[in-house]
Amino acid sequence: MDKKFLITIDGKDIEATPGQTILEAARENGIYIPTLCHYEGTTNPGACRVCVVEVEGARTLVASCCMPVSSGMIVKTDTKRVMAARRLVVELLWASGDHNCLTCEKNGNCELQDLIYEMEIEEPRFKIESPGYEIEQTNSMIQRDLNKCILCGRCVRVCNEIQVNEILDFSMRGSRTKVGPAFDTDLIDSECYFCGECVDACPVGAITFKQARFAGRPWDIEKVRTTCAYCGVGCQMDLNIYNGKIVKVTGNREYGSPNRGSLCVKGRFGMDFIDNPDRLKTPLIRKDGELKEATWDEAYDFIVEKLRSIKEEYGADSIMGFSSAKCTNEENYLFQKFMRAVIGTNNVDHCARL
């Protein structure tokens, strides 16, 4: 194990590990340094410069998310010089896009908004100019409004480094720089898998869940942790519920294994079946050619009678069982046990294998 050493942050001596950045050492010891472009689990680009700090002996302010610690380093995170630099960066970001919080879906859960409030900025000293990009609404899952994009690159890095889909990247240069798929196409016309990782990573309202638009503000949303039922991985996710209905599904990176906050397109956008009006609420038995509602006891008796008669006439191997990934592992185990021990056949399969 690498030997730890002491550094000083805001007059506090703390232990740091070789290879750590100033930001990591600070957060590990409860010292607050704001960030926008930093996203745990991805590379540190040092793009936004919101996390700048003073390091004794350094010629300029340094980005704490990129600067590695060294023995005896003396760091200051809240000097007038540091706060003025951060304020300038936030003002420039505010002025460079259409950050209208009244209609923005991220209002109340926007990291740029939080920084503006934290720094007590009444209005930016620069003229607010929106780039004038058309809002992308060509698919039913993700809405992109590049007028709100702050070019932090978090969506690019989670797409390339966590999901490894490599769909998003920067294009153009200077003030015309934008983020998107190759050849500036819409997501629906690209190779996007619609995992939604970019939506979770976006700190502002540039990428949002389309189905959640006007479906509840963040402070009205109740989050319920659950396990995705689409396959056997057991991904953990948060159901965002408003007025008793699921409005969107978000990942939570604090849950850890197995998915560490990442989800696939089914887990992220495939929960509309829950409130589908065509969903069965009671068993149906076909009588005289028509499906009619029945009680559970009637349904069980019907199933038992049919299975028994088929087994007696044609043998156990004439029956096959097909299980579902939407059941738990324990339920699937009991199902195959039922087929083998009760019915007496090994003809059992599972939809997740197809």
CA-angle at 170, arms to 166 and 175, nearest 5°: 170
CA distance 201 to 230: 23
CATH number at residue 159: 3.30.70.20
Rounded (10°) CA dihedral 84, 87, 89, 92: -120
Q: Is residue 174 part of a domain?
A: yes
**What secondary structure does DSSP assign to 295-318, as a single string?**
-HHHHHHHHHHHHHHHHHHH-GGG
Q: Which of 251, 275, 299 is the last residue of a domain?
A: 275
CA distance 71 to 323: 59
CA distance 37 to 46: 7
Residues 6+ apart with CB under 8 A from 189: 138, 181
Q: What confidence tens digit (pLDDT) does each residue in 222-267 have? A: 999 998 888 778 899 999 999 999 999 999 998 888 999 999 999 9
Q: Is residue 109 part of a domain?
A: no
Q: Which of 31, 59, 78 is the last residue of a domain?
A: 78
Asked if residue 288 and residue 271 are part of one domain, the reply reads no
Count of the separate structural domains present in the chain: 3
Q: Which of 37, 61, 78 is the last residue of a domain?
A: 78
Q: Is residue 19 part of a domain?
A: yes
Asked if residue 317 and residue 255 are part of one domain, the reply reads no
Asked if residue 309 and residue 259 are part of one domain, the reply reads no
Asked if residue 313 and residue 266 are part of one domain, the reply reads no
Residue 331's domain comprises 284-353
CA distance 238 to 212: 14
Q: Which residues pair with 281 in a beta bridge?
A: none
Owner of token pair 């983020």: 179
Asked if residue 159 and residue 193 are part of one domain, the reply reads yes
Mean pLDDT along residues 54-58: 95
Give the residue, 156 or 123, on which the prediction is more confident: 156
Q: Is residue 97 part of a domain?
A: no
Asked if residue 267 and residue 225 are part of one domain, the reply reads yes
**Helix spans in the chain (H):** 22-28, 80-95, 111-118, 154-157, 197-201, 265-269, 296-314, 329-337
Asked if residue 306 and residue 262 are part of one domain, the reply reads no
Asked if residue 269 and residue 140 are part of one domain, the reply reads yes
CA distance 247 to 272: 9
Per the CB < 8 A criterion, the answer to whether 169 and 156 are in contact is yes
CATH number at residue 37: 3.10.20.740
SS3 (DSSP) at 237: strand
For the cut 70, the answer to whether the pLDDT of residue 334 exceeds it is yes
CA distance 133 to 115: 25
Mean pLDDT along residues 276-296: 92
Asked if residue 200 and residue 291 are part of one domain, the reply reads no
CA distance 201 to 154: 6
Residues 6+ apart with CB under 8 A from 302: 285, 294
Q: pLDDT grade, residue 352 (50/70/90)?
A: low
Q: What is the pLDDT of residue 256?
A: 86
Q: Is residue 121 part of a domain?
A: no
Asked if residue 151 and residue 60 are part of one domain, the reply reads no
Q: What is the pLDDT of residue 354?
A: 45
Asked if residue 138 and residue 270 are part of one domain, the reply reads yes
Q: Is residue 107 part of a domain?
A: no
Asked if residue 237 and residue 257 are part of one domain, the reply reads yes
